A and B are shown apart, each in its own frame.
Chain A
Amino acid sequence: MAESTLQTDHPEGLDGFVRDWSSDQRTFKRVSWGKAMMWIFLLSDTFVFSIFLIGYMSARMSTKSDWPNTSEVFSLHVGGADLPLLLIAIMTFVLISSSGTMAMAVRCGYARARKATAGLMYLTALLGATFVGMQVFEWTKLIQEGVRPWGNPFGAEQFGASFFMITGFHGTHVSIGVLFLIIIATKIWRGEFDRPGRTWLKSDAGDYEAVEIMGLYWHFVDLVWVFIFAFFYLW
């Protein structure tokens, strides 16, 4: 008995799972409070986005009017030709790239490379802001073409409603992410993360975990975009 309670090694697989869940103090060993909170929040937020998408799908299936042809509505007129999904392809590329720079920032954070971490986070924020900027451009274009939440010239009126609601909610998530990326990056740049003491968004000296937690959120927002892209633009 003493042996089983005092062992410090970490069994893998099902044994490890059972041991962690039947242990005291922490269920997820080596997971900080902040990281656990972010994961659980993301689980809850997954439900929010899933239900938004399910609501959109059910509206799309139950409406009697024809759904607008998305490859026409979302096409860009470039050089005398309509290129379907061009803008969306660029937006998706930018957002996925920002996930890459975020992952590099996390790695640099654990190496405690202060300037590289902050720089990569600023770059991530810039890419995120670019994404939001292009979304603003897309909204402007659609609004100029007459798409409104209550109707549009292309077909079912639920199209505009779901489009503005879902991309708007996702864009809000990206914007909040950009804001926090800038805040954390600025704190890192100023060296606050290397000084002792707990402050807002930071635990101990040299603890760059906030970067990883920020990264969790950012990757989640990117992943959600992949689903919105698939269900809204490709369907």
Chain B
Amino acid sequence: MANIPYRPDEQVPPAEVPDVHPPHPHTWIGRWVFSQDAKYIAIQYSATAIAIGLVALVLSWLVRLQLGFPDVFSFSAEAYYQFITMHGMIMVIYLLTAIFLGGFGNYLIPLMVGARDMVFPFVNMLSYWVYLLAVLVLVASFFVPGGPTGAGWTLYPPQAILSGTPGGQDAGIILMLLSLILFIIGFTMGGLNYVVTVLQARTRGMTLMRMPLTVWGIFTATVMALLAFPALFVACVMMLFDRLLSTSFFMPTLVEMGEQLSYGGGSPIVFQHLFWFFGHPEVYIVALPAFGIVSDLISVHARKNVFGYRMMVWAIVIIGALSFIVWAHHMYVSGMHPYFGFFFATTTLIIAVPTAIKVYNWLLTLWRGDIHLTLPMLFALSFVVTFVNGGLTGLFLGNVVVDVPLSDTMFVVAHFHMVMGVAPLMVIFGAIYHWYPLMTGRMLNEAMGQIHFWVTFIGTYAIFFPMHYVGLVGVPRRYPEIGDPAFITTPVDGLNAFISIAAFIVGAAQILFLFNIAWSARNGRDAGGNPWRAASLEWQTPQTPPRHGNWADELPVVYRWAYDYSVPGAPEDFIAQDDPWVQQTAPT
């Protein structure tokens, strides 16, 4: 009994280290441009990520124009490859990774663990500026001769650096690799901050097992990123050498246009292993923060504690660990040994166990809860549905015999858009609706939000449900136009046009969402200090939005976990984490 850490206790250990106030900026530039305040850095990160994400959104429109109406809008194959490559790369790395870790991580970690700021504010600031530089290098590749790389977001050699691929022998691929290297350097600076802040800078009473699941998700994802990004870093350096110095790390002996190239003896498969050793954990680097955030959203808006908190934490940690030994399930058709496939299929399916625990626990948190269908809750629910959907098609693709015929079809595209495109985006939206009042002191407009939600939710299903079918009838991915081949017995032109129209509508709804963010900053309803009546620490700050240094003269003291909702006998239906209230008579 005494060891159950999320029960309130009266005795909180004394402070181990003196309270350090972050230095106050004295100049306008120090305050608004080169800010060292994690909350401001978070907004800079998010704004940059959303801005570059808009570019990726427009690119997806161009892709859909080509696929839906190949007779009307006919881009060159080169341009099409550039669109899909940059769309994928921006969405996965520069939007999702950056906004979850750099955005929500920076904003929420110090507030949720009761710290005044990140532990190294200066390094944290550098992290953002290096990230911005990475984004600018990426954008620059649109304007160099030959344009950005069209190698596909996986950048597989040898084609990525050959002249047949757009940007392969021009500057496109060089800028892409440089941008990734910069991104990794910038991320490492931020990531060290997030990890050390969670481990070493919590407030009194905040044990690891009292942290909100949001922090657990972001923390585990950051640790994974610090261990997985090195593989991408090394792969980028080696490919950059192959491209610039004519080394042959990944390049076998090749004949191009009748001429033998100077390359010889390298192995393209090594790149695939390195890329996916990063690439698979990357899926969970995006998914784990989403898991954590959605747990918190469901708990707050169903007025119930998270079901099986400890299991949820362990599931996050186990998923994080397992995701390092499943990478080759992306490579079943690469020609590797079949026993490898057997091993990786097994580990892949084992991940379904902790993931299923999480899904059941979300459902059991909702079970008989006092569900408020607020906007964050709607997005959280749509995440659970979408994630289960994407997870089920993952079972198809995780098995070697089923994956081989489905490899490189639109089914794969539909699968990963469902599971790591739409699902985490739903959480990002839900999280913005949930924490926007904390960041600005105002609520987002409800009517615009409802339109945004329903169009996005129904629209993404209209896009990606038929896409599974398009893949099943055999349409390969990465083809701008397939014409009328004999192996496709059912024409899918009509479906493709339908998907494209849905994609334009969904994209337009995102513009409405951005307008809502801008509009509500001035005109939104006043939110007060804690509009959702949430128990976790970030809502207990003396001011909303929290000022520099987050807390008043004294740091908060934590007496309980973050999920004391609807506790019988309590004065309100939630008990804040820093509320020392204790039930006087023990419930039977």
User: How far, in Å, is B378 (CB) from chain A's closest CB?
Assistant: 35
| A150-B246, A150-B262, A156-B265 known; A22 vs B192 contact (CB < 8 Å) | no
In the complex the two chains form, what is the Cα distance from A58 to B238 in whole Å?
13
User: How far, in Å, is A20 (CB) from chain B's closest CB?
Assistant: 10
Asked whether B196 lies within 8 Å of A36 as measured between CB atoms, the reply is yes
Asked whether A150 lies within 8 Å of B247 as measured between CB atoms, the reply is yes
Asked whether B270 lies within 8 Å of A4 as measured between CB atoms, the reply is no
What chain B residues lie within 8 Å of A28 (beta carbons)?
199-200
User: How far, in Å, is A184 (CB) from chain B's closest CB?
Assistant: 17
Asked whether A33 lies within 8 Å of B265 as measured between CB atoms, the reply is no
Whether a CB of chain B sits under 8 angstroms from the CB of A144 is: no
Whether a CB of chain B sits under 8 angstroms from the CB of A230 is: no
Chain B residue nearest to A61 in the complex (CB): B267
Whether a CB of chain B sits under 8 angstroms from the CB of A37 is: yes
CB-contact partner of B188 in A23, A41, A58, A160, under 8 A: A41
In the complex the two chains form, what is the Cα distance from A203 to B309 in whole Å?
38
- Interface flags, A155-166, vs B, CB<8A=1, else 0: 011101110010
Q: What are 8 A-B pairs at a CB distance below 8 A? A: A24-B202, A24-B203, A25-B204, A25-B206, A40-B192, A149-B246, A158-B247, A161-B247
In the complex the two chains form, what is the Cα distance from A58 to B249 in whole Å?
9
Residues of B participating in the A interface, judged by any CB pair closer than 8 Å: 2-3, 5, 9-17, 119-120, 188, 191-193, 195-196, 199-210, 226-227, 229-231, 233-234, 237-238, 241, 245-249, 262, 264-267, 270, 274, 277, 558
CB-contact partner of B558 in A24, A33, A149, under 8 A: A24
In the complex the two chains form, what is the Cα distance from A41 to B9 in whole Å?
35
CB-contact partner of B265 in A36, A55, A149, A158, under 8 A: A158
What chain B residues lie within 8 Å of A36 (beta carbons)?
196, 199-200
Asked whether B192 lies within 8 Å of A23 as measured between CB atoms, the reply is no
Asked whether B207 lies within 8 Å of A23 as measured between CB atoms, the reply is yes
In the complex the two chains form, what is the Cα distance from A151 to B264 in whole Å?
10
Q: In A15-38, which residues have CB < 8 Å from any B CB? A: 21-29, 31, 33, 36-37
B interface, over-half SS? loop
Whether a CB of chain B sits under 8 angstroms from the CB of A43 is: yes
Asked whether A44 lies within 8 Å of B241 as measured between CB atoms, the reply is no
Other A-B pairs beyond A24-B12, A63-B266, 17, CB < 8 Å: A6-B11, A6-B14, A22-B209, A25-B16, A27-B199, A27-B208, A28-B199, A33-B196, A33-B200, A37-B119, A52-B234, A59-B249, A65-B264, A150-B246, A161-B241, A165-B241, A165-B247
CB-contact partner of B196 in A24, A37, A59, A156, under 8 A: A37
In the complex the two chains form, what is the Cα distance from A48 to B181 in whole Å?
12
| A37-B192, A47-B227 known; A157 vs B13 contact (CB < 8 Å) | no
In the complex the two chains form, what is the Cα distance from A25 to B193 in whole Å?
16
Asked whether A44 lies within 8 Å of B200 as measured between CB atoms, the reply is no
A interface, over-half SS? helix
Asked whether A161 lies within 8 Å of B208 as measured between CB atoms, the reply is no
| A24-B205, A33-B201, A150-B262 known; A1 vs B246 contact (CB < 8 Å) | no
What chain A residues lie within 8 Å of B264 (beta carbons)?
64-65, 157
In the complex the two chains form, what is the Cα distance from A31 to B196 in whole Å?
11
Q: In A56-105, which residues have CB < 8 Å from any B CB? A: 58-59, 62-65
Residues of A participating in the B interface, judged by any CB pair closer than 8 Å: 1-2, 4-6, 21-29, 31, 33, 36-37, 40-41, 43-45, 47-48, 50-52, 55, 58-59, 62-65, 149-151, 156-158, 160-162, 165, 169
Asked whether B196 lies within 8 Å of A40 as measured between CB atoms, the reply is yes
User: How far, in Å, is A56 (CB) from chain B's closest CB?
Assistant: 9
In the complex the two chains form, what is the Cα distance from A1 to B5 in whole Å?
11
Asked whether A165 lies within 8 Å of B237 as measured between CB atoms, the reply is yes
Asked whether B230 lies within 8 Å of A2 as measured between CB atoms, the reply is no
User: How far, in Å, is B275 (CB) from chain A's closest CB?
Assistant: 11
Asked whether A22 lies within 8 Å of B5 as measured between CB atoms, the reply is yes
User: How far, in Å, is B458 (CB) from chain A's closest CB?
Assistant: 42
What chain B residues lie within 8 Å of A162 (beta carbons)?
249
Asked whether A51 lies within 8 Å of B234 as measured between CB atoms, the reply is yes
Asked whether A165 lies within 8 Å of B238 as measured between CB atoms, the reply is yes
User: How far, in Å, is A228 (CB) from chain B's closest CB?
Assistant: 14
Asked whether A51 lies within 8 Å of B230 as measured between CB atoms, the reply is yes
| A5-B12, A5-B13 known; A55 vs B249 contact (CB < 8 Å) | yes
**Which of B205, B248, B558: most chain A CB closer than 10 A?**
B248
User: How far, in Å, is B237 (CB) from chain A's closest CB?
Assistant: 7
In the complex the two chains form, what is the Cα distance from A131 to B255 in whole Å?
42
Chain B residue nearest to A59 in the complex (CB): B249
In the complex the two chains form, what is the Cα distance from A149 to B267 in whole Å?
16
Asked whether A44 lies within 8 Å of B201 as measured between CB atoms, the reply is no
Chain A residue nearest to B122 in the complex (CB): A200
Asked whether B238 lies within 8 Å of A4 as measured between CB atoms, the reply is no
In the complex the two chains form, what is the Cα distance from A45 to B226 in whole Å?
9
The 9 closest A-B pairs by CB, nearest first: A161-B247, A47-B230, A63-B265, A150-B246, A48-B230, A149-B245, A44-B226, A33-B119, A51-B234
CB-contact partner of A24 in B2, B193, B207, B230, under 8 A: B207
CB-contact partner of A22 in B188, B207, B233, under 8 A: B207
User: How far, in Å, is B456 (CB) from chain A's closest CB?
Assistant: 36
Asked whether B13 lies within 8 Å of A6 as measured between CB atoms, the reply is yes
What chain B residues lie within 8 Å of A160 (beta carbons)?
247
What chain B residues lie within 8 Å of A48 (beta carbons)?
230, 233-234
What chain A residues lie within 8 Å of B558 (beta carbons)?
24
Asked whether A149 lies within 8 Å of B247 as measured between CB atoms, the reply is yes
What chain A residues lie within 8 Å of B270 (beta carbons)?
55, 58-59, 62
What chain B residues lie within 8 Å of A6 (beta carbons)?
11, 13-14
What chain A residues lie within 8 Å of B5 (beta carbons)?
22
CB-contact partner of A25 in B10, B17, B230, under 8 A: B17
What chain A residues lie within 8 Å of B245 (beta carbons)?
149-150, 161
CB-contact partner of A26 in B191, B199, B234, B249, under 8 A: B199
